[in-house]
């Protein structure tokens, strides 16, 4: 299994992490990154991951960066596309890939939400197109959703699952190629409600973060929502659903509160303010220690590194 040739298209936030984890698993990785500045910063970003893990930086010799697609994906058994989240860009990349890779090379998209069947719609060999949704940062978060589309062959699915498992990832098989797959549907269902609660003045954005981190989030690493439902009993789960569901947010489309933030240029860390004020990191109010004096400037507040 190690020693395969793998192409990564796009050497940005996700692409460099994907390239790293595959090189660390023993593969030779070619990265196509068309933007000079991103290509130039790639070695430094890869070295930072090696330092984080305490890995021998010699493994980075397995990664090569390219300003053209064809040499990056030459002889590739797999290509992972991690280019911007725009359908025409991804469709263009897949069309170019088809003309330079072998017909049996597996073409995987790391799209967060776009079905791979849309990305690969115009290709000749559609059985080798598949979704592989890594989570940011891909070298740290274990999960990769492997999304089969209606044309993906069983062999392509199996080889992709195996490659990722061998690279140490927890690969899960998603059987339908629906927008957002599973993980982002769950995540955005929560974000949708969170934004609506803040917009309605029920609580502020900071309180949402504390609620999630100190409440359900604190146990979610150990107990998934299905396990938790079984634990408390489906009868109780039904009773709560009966009272609650009619009151959950049903705004059609993105909430106007979110749209206005974006329109006003309040984009989060990029601009210094988003749902919360950002000051070189996300500010977090820690749980007050017993006996702490209230009202002191800076007390009970710490900075969370990213
Ligand atoms: N950022 C996340 O948290 C996250 C998580 C999971 C999946 N994704 C998905 O991964 C993909 C990449 O996201 P990202 O956050 O790494 O974006 P990014 O902007 O950091 O990286 C994209 C890279 O692609 C390059 N690029 C631009 N046009 C290209 C082209 N035509 N061909 C090849 N490369 C091109 C850019 O120069 C950039 O370096 C997107 O589909 C995104 O939805 C992102």
Tell me: pLDDT of 228 over 90.
yes
Q: What is the pTM of this model?
A: 0.88
Tell me, using a 6 A CB cutoff, whether residue 40 lines ligand 1: no
For ligand 1, atom 18: residue with the closest CA: 12
Average pLDDT over residues 105-122: 96
pLDDT, one tens digit per residue, over 133-184 is 999 999 999 999 999 999 999 999 999 999 999 999 999 999 999 999 999 9
Query: Rounded to an integer, what distance in angstroms lies between the CA atom of residue 110 and that of residue 83?
Result: 8
Give DSSP secondary structure letters for 196-251.
Answer: HHHHTTSS-HHHHHHHHHHTHHHHHTT--HHHHHHHH-HHHHHHHHHHHGGGS---
Distance 114 CA to ligand 1 centre (A): 13
pLDDT tens digit string along 270-289? 899 999 987 655 554 444 33
CA gap 71, 89 in Å, rounded:
19
For 29-46, write each residue's pLDDT tens digit. 999 999 999 999 999 999
- At residue 54, the pLDDT reads 97
pLDDT of residue 281: 52
Nearest protein CA to atom 7 of ligand 1, as residue? 112
Residues marked active site are found at 112, 133, 145, 184
For residue 21, how far is its CA from the centre of ligand 1 (angstroms)? Answer: 17
181 lines ligand 1 (CB under 6 A): no
Q: Which residues contact 128 (CB under 8 A, 6 or more apart)?
A: 103, 104, 105, 106, 107, 152, 153, 156
How many Å lie between the centroid of ligand 1 and the Cα of residue 217? Answer: 27
32 pocket-lining for ligand 1 (C-beta < 6 Å): yes
Q: What is the pLDDT of residue 306?
A: 30
What's the gap in Å between 261 CA and the centre of ligand 1? Answer: 23
Q: Is residue 136 lining ligand 1, measured as CB closer than 6 Å?
A: yes
Question: Which of 9, 12, 139, 183 gets mutated to test ligand 1 (max ligand atoms within 8 A of its CB)?
Answer: 12
> Is ligand 1 within 6 A of the CB of residue 84?
yes
Ligand 1 centroid – CA 18 distance (Å): 11
Q: Which of 84, 86, 116, 182 to mutate to test the pocket of ligand 1 (most atoms within 8 A of CB)?
A: 84
């Amino acid at each position: 299994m190690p020693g395969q040739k793998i192409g990564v298209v796009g050497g940005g936030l996700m692409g460099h992490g994907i390239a790293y984890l595959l090189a660390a698993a023993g593969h030779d990785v070619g990265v196509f990154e068309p933007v000079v500045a991103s290509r130039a910063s790639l070695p430094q970003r890869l070295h930072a991951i090696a330092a984080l893990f305490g890995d021998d930086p010699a493994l980075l010799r397995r990664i090569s960066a390219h300003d053209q697609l064809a040499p990056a994906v030459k002889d590739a058994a797999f290509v992972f596309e991690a280019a911007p989240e725009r359908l025409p860009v991804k469709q263009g990349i897949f069309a170019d890939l088809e003309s330079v890779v072998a017909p049996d090379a597996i073409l995987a998209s790391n799209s967060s939400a776009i079905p791979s069947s849309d990305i690969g719609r115009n290709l000749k060999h559609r059985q080798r197109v598949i979704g592989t949704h890594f989570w940011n940062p891909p070298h740290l978060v274990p999960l990769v959703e492997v999304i089969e589309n209606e044309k993906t062959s069983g062999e392509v699915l199996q080889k992709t699952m195996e490659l990722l498992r061998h690279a140490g990832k927890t690969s899960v098989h998603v059987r339908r190629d629906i927008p957002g797959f599973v993980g982002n549907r769950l995540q955005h269902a929560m974000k949708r409600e969170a934004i609506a609660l803040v917009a309605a003045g029920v609580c502020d954005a900071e309180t949402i973060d504390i609620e999630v981190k100190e409440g359900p989030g604190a146990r979610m690493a150990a107990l998934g929502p299905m396990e938790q439902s079984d634990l408390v009993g489906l009868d109780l789960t039904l009773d709560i659903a009966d009272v609650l569901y009619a009151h959950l947010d049903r705004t059609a489309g993105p909430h106007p509160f979110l749209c206005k933030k974006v329109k006003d240029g309040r984009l989060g860390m990029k601009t210094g303010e988003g749902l919360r004020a950002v000051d070189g990191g996300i500010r977090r109010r820690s749980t007050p220690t017993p006996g702490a004096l209230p009202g002191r400037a800076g007390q009970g507040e710490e900075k969370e590194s990213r």
